[in-house]
Structure 1
Amino acid sequence: MACYSLLPLLFLALCHSSTHGAAPVSDHNPTQVTTAPVPLPNVAKEFLQSHNQARAAVGVGPLKWSEMLANATSRLVTYQRNKMGCQFANLSNSKFGANQLWASGMAVTPLMAVDHWVQEKNYYNHTNNSCAPNHRCGVYTQMVFTDEECVDVVVETEPSCNNYLHW
């Protein structure tokens, strides 16, 4: 399962499963009933829309919201803030990926964060899946990875972290 998250007082997580968000009401009910979707906060809507616009620009399908992923991300963001002194999360052993953004002392909108990550596109060679020398493209490639199907976002302002933003 390929999953992805973005961290900097903004945390966006992506997963590779279209089944998240649907839950049976009862184990005894032979037909699966899904719960009504919970309205997304405006910041989550903006992030999802901005992300999907970046994906559409390169012919990749849209992402869907995952409440399960949002809960996991919220726990990670809280842990990073409380136990890791505002450091970026190390997700190398996680089934989730993450993009992180440090917004030192400034307000960052979802569009600003996505635009920042999309700038890496200028250095990415899609034909041979490589990045120009002395540049990084991993944040951008995670954003537009074709196997990603769902996303969440957690935005948290932490004054002691100078606006460390987790997506």
Structure 2
Amino acid sequence: ESAAWTGPTCETNACQGQGEVACGAHGQCVADGEAGGWRCECEPGHSGERCHVSCDLICNGPWPYGCNPSIEAPIHLCGPGDGCQYVEHADEANSGWCTYQSRSAVAGDAACDSATCSREANGDDCHTRSCQDGQCTEPVPLPDGTVCHSVEWGQCLGGECLAVHLPTAGSSASMNSEASA
């Protein structure tokens, strides 16, 4: 997954405009509704808002720094003096520690976020799924009238994307196509 698509029909790339180097060589831009639309998800052994901190400079020894990477906690921290913490959320109390592994960054992890679940809504854009307890819920139809992109001029109606607002002969869309012909 290379982009952070958000919005009702995953039409907005939250990482667009952040540049290819938003998360450096050791992270990936992902959608996050709480952090202004995007955040960096760091690869194991790297930390920081932009994945610019190598835990090798903070923790003792090589990755996993004497800690246990298989403990089922969302965030694994290492610190100077062979210390390890396994926490639900990293906060200011963890300053001086390095997030050497985040559960969502581990390959094969079942953790989800709302953007991931929305994209997995059976491949159509008139259903959505949310994330609850790390799992995507069953697809739910979007409200009738929601714009969809599966068909030209589409709107959701009863969970299907239908062309309901086709341009008429006098509309600006048909005039523009005639003028360019």
Q: TM-score range by the shorter chain?
A: under 0.3
Name the one with the larger helix percent: 1
TM-score (norm 1): 0.24
Structure with the bigger RCO (C-alpha within 8 Å, sep 6+) is 1
